[in-house]
Amino acid sequence: MPQRTKTAGRDPDPLFPSVGRLVRFGVPVALAGIAVPLMGLVDVAVLGRLGDPAVIAGVGVAGTVLTTVMWCFSFLRFTTTGLVAQAMGRDDQRGLVLQGLRPMLAAVIGGVALWLLQGAILSLGLAVIAPEPEVAAFSRSYFQVRVWGAPFTLTITTLSAWFMGLGAGRTVMVVQLFLNGLNAALTLLLVLGLGWGVAGAAAGTVLAELATTVLVVWLALRRLPLPLWRQPAALILERGAWRRLFAANADIVVRTLLLTVCFALITERGARFGTLTLAADQVLLQTFLLVANLLDGVAIAAEVFVGRAVGAANVAALRHVVGRSAMLALVWGGFIALLVASTAGVYLPLMTVNPELVAETRRYWPWLALLPLVSVWAFLADGIYFGSLRTWVLRNAMLVGALFYVAGLLVFGPVLGNHGLWLSLCILMVVRAVGAALAWPRLVRDVANAEGELADRRV
């Protein structure tokens, strides 16, 4: 088979996407991505109607504990997309199915494990964060209901990643918009309509995730018929495949757990400044997660097409994808920064009716406007190295970044107060991007060598 080459025209080769193709894929994925933090924001906005900052702080603490644990299963998202994209590059249909079945099995097992360990997880989280007693009570009420959605959360994450690896960004968007819309409706009904309070917000999310799990499984069966999903157990449980999956997982868990701990430290440090500042930090963190998922559209587009280029062993395609993704990252990051900077006056009153909380959050809003410009490069690096499955690069960059972050907290926190926490987060993002950039020449060499070996075999 002749080597694929870049030709003229509109996306004549799936290995050489135009900027427009990246946008057409990235925008639906970004819209899908914001549905996840929007669920948290819906909870904050609805509970904010109750007017008590302790409620928002309590949900934020519970969300931090749950997110920290759930990110231990982040390989279900990151490795699945890369492996499926590489199978697409090799035109391996059986591989597409197996790369969906294995992480789905892990999702179910992981979700049940969280059910069984929920008491220990919550106790440890509250001991580490140490919120005020009133805040801790709200945290328990939320967590004890919300954790029952863990298997559904992980299954949705897995199959969404599988669809992203296929390049089906619009399908992912439909799934997440359904999840987010149903969650908003149920939360409004249970919290404000039936007066269930914090537990109602958690129950609304769990019920929405259950319904969405049914939807996403049905869509997967429509994409590939049921007979194709009936693979021999020996193939699904193949030790070599699971070793590769968990080898990448070890790197991703280290990277993602450190990142989650860095976010959790904002909660832990913010709690030292009082309930009002802690609540403000929760609004800012939930909003940053929304912004991060908007920015992640660029990263996921890069991840899918980098995966295809690496799977096909085409170094020209790799350079093409990364170059155009960098152009898109610059424009998109600047646009999101301007959007955030201009919307504080409208956005914050929607989050809470408490004027003191609005004023406190506005004090730190400029950091949120700066973060898209700073962090988009770290997200782009994630896409490149997740797609190529060079996850050790992201692990190492995160290890160094976390050291700089903790140093920033220790140096700037006592001097600048809560501003020091957000400055340290900016430093973390810069160090991650620089560390990943240093590994780029090696990735190019590896793909070029694989391309040469493939050419030799063809001869």
Strands annotated E in 260-408? none
Distance CA 4, CA 46 (A): 52
Q: Residue 178: which residues within 8 A CB-CB, separation 6 or more?
A: 211, 212, 215
Please give the chain's pLDDT, 459 residues, in tens: 334 434 333 445 677 888 788 888 777 777 766 666 666 667 777 777 766 777 777 887 887 788 778 777 777 777 787 778 777 767 777 778 888 888 888 888 988 998 888 888 888 888 877 777 778 888 888 888 988 988 998 999 889 888 988 878 788 888 988 998 898 899 889 888 888 888 888 898 899 999 999 999 999 988 887 888 888 888 888 887 787 777 667 787 788 778 878 888 887 787 778 788 888 888 888 788 888 888 888 888 888 889 888 888 888 989 999 999 999 999 999 999 999 999 888 888 877 778 888 888 898 999 999 999 999 999 999 999 988 888 889 999 999 999 999 999 999 988 898 899 999 999 999 999 999 999 999 999 988 888 777 666 665
Q: 308-343: string of b/e by CB count within 10 Å (b at 16+)? A: bbbbbbbbbbbebbbebbeebbeebbeebbeebeee
Average pLDDT, the chain: 83
Q: Residue 253: which residues within 8 A CB-CB, separation 6 or more?
A: 71, 72, 74, 75
Record the tokens describing residue 205, joined without a space.
Answer: 């999310």
Distance CA 368, CA 425 (A): 10
Record the tokens describing residue 457, joined without a space.
Answer: 């075999």
Q: Residue 163: which residues within 8 A CB-CB, separation 6 or more?
A: 169, 171, 172, 175, 219, 220, 223
Record the tokens describing residue 233, joined without a space.
Answer: 């157990």
User: Using only C-alpha atoms, what is the Rg of the chain?
Assistant: 22
Q: Residue 181: which residues within 8 A CB-CB, separation 6 or more?
A: none
Contact 62, 146 (CB under 8 A): yes
Count Cα neighbours of 376 within 13 Å in the Cβ-side half-sphere: 24
Record the tokens describing residue 350, joined without a space.
Answer: 């929607």
Nearest CA among 300, 448, 430, 316 for reference residue 15: 316
DSSP per position, 383-421: HHHHHTT-HHHHHHHHHHHHHHHHHHHHHHHHHHTHHHH
pLDDT tens string 308-356: 888 888 889 899 999 999 999 999 999 999 999 998 888 888 777 788 8
Contact 98, 235 (CB under 8 A): yes
Q: Which amino acid is at 148?
A: W
Q: Record the pTM.
A: 0.70
pLDDT tens string 115-171: 888 888 888 888 877 777 778 888 888 888 988 988 998 999 889 888 988 878 788
Q: Tokens 């909870």 label which residue?
A: 43
Count Cα neighbours of 68 within 13 Å in the Cβ-side half-sphere: 24
Q: Tokens 């907290």 label which residue?
A: 409
SS3 313: coil
